[in-house]
Structure 1
Amino acid sequence: MSRLIINNFNEFAQHIGQELGVSDYLTITQEQIDLFADATLDHQWIHVDTERARTESPYKSTIAHGYLNLSVLPYLWGQILEVNNVKMLVNYGIEKLRFNRPVLAGDAVRLRASLVSLANLRGIAKAEIKVSLEIKDSPKTALDATVVFLYHFQ
């Protein structure tokens, strides 16, 4: 898979209203879920107790934390876009975030991203990116949101 390469604000602006790309699939493992539970102190059984989930959960499996799904966005975003000549990138915000469907342990997810808007704030590019975390073989996305990044170009 090839990434879209952006070297400056004007190149970025040419993609307003367009899909920027789709990442490769990433499988969410039980090990990742367990490590995330340890990092966030969220050990709710629906995430970490595989036996109980198999018998009591409507999904018959453990599910990834919603914020774990959100946390893989930067990794997947890096597969879609390479922005050069940047001093710093800042996560500025997340708007309209919706968790639509749980990601089960073993599900593969990928990111689809489109550039909604790009504003020049005195040399800082404020990019609003519509993202969807797709689940392989599922018509429903895991999450949809608009993420906002600040690119400080050199």
Structure 2
Amino acid sequence: MTAIETARAELEAKTGTEIGVSDWITVDQKMIDAFADVTHDHQWIHIDPARAAAETPFGGTIAHGFLTLSLASKFSYECMQAMPGQVMGINYGFNKLRFLTPVPAGSRLRGRFTLTAIRQRSDTELLRETQLTIEIEGRDSPALVAEWLGLSVFEAEGG
């Protein structure tokens, strides 16, 4: 059996099951401000704690939705290991993505992953669909849910 065939069989056996839960990470104002600087998104609900406390229902600043989403990569490194013969993983995009709950500065987040589908695209590529939920510690509703696509690329057999 080739490396990709072995990986496909292992992943198909895990389809429909939770494959990992990451550690918690704190999203503090310093992280939010740095993200604002990198993305040039300086909307006051993210970077002005006094105004956000006075003029929003959030009680203070909130993280950018895209900051929350960008942490998915960190969470996935903790939960999804490369398979034997895999030479790289590529973010292939999203089928669905919803930001459900604002993330107040100082919140702790973690990622929860469930493998929902696997499809072989070629002799060297497996396309994985994963249900991603980014949870906010102490909240019933998650920050976001998404159907995330990842391409696992394997070494060509014989080369």
TM (normalized to structure 1)? Answer: 0.92
Residue correspondence of structure 1 range 92-131 to structure 2 within 5 A: 92-123=92-123, 124-131=125-132
- Structure 1 contact 108–135 (Cα < 8 Å) conserved: yes
Q: Select the structure that is richer in helix.
A: 2
1:61 and 1:86 map into 2 onto residues whose CA distance is 44
Q: Secondary structure at the match of 1:93?
A: strand
2:118 and 2:32 map into 1 onto residues whose CA distance is 34
TM (normalized to structure 2)? Answer: 0.89
Name stretches of at least 5 consecutive residues in structure 1 with no aligned partner: 1-6
Residue identity over aligned pairs, in percent, reads 39
1:153 and 1:11 map into 2 onto residues whose CA distance is 15
Computing the radius of gyration from Cα coordinates, the structure with the larger value is 2
- Structure 1 contact 92–149 (Cα < 8 Å) conserved: yes
In the TM superposition, what is the alpha-carbon distance from 1:70 to its structure 2 partner? Answer: 0.3
Q: Secondary structure at the match of 1:61?
A: coil
Q: Secondary structure at the match of 2:81?
A: strand
Q: Select the structure that is richer in strand.
A: 1
1:127 and 1:81 map into 2 onto residues whose CA distance is 11
Count, aligned residues? 148
| Alpha-carbon RMSD | 1.1
Name stretches of at least 5 consecutive residues in structure 2 with no aligned partner: 1-5
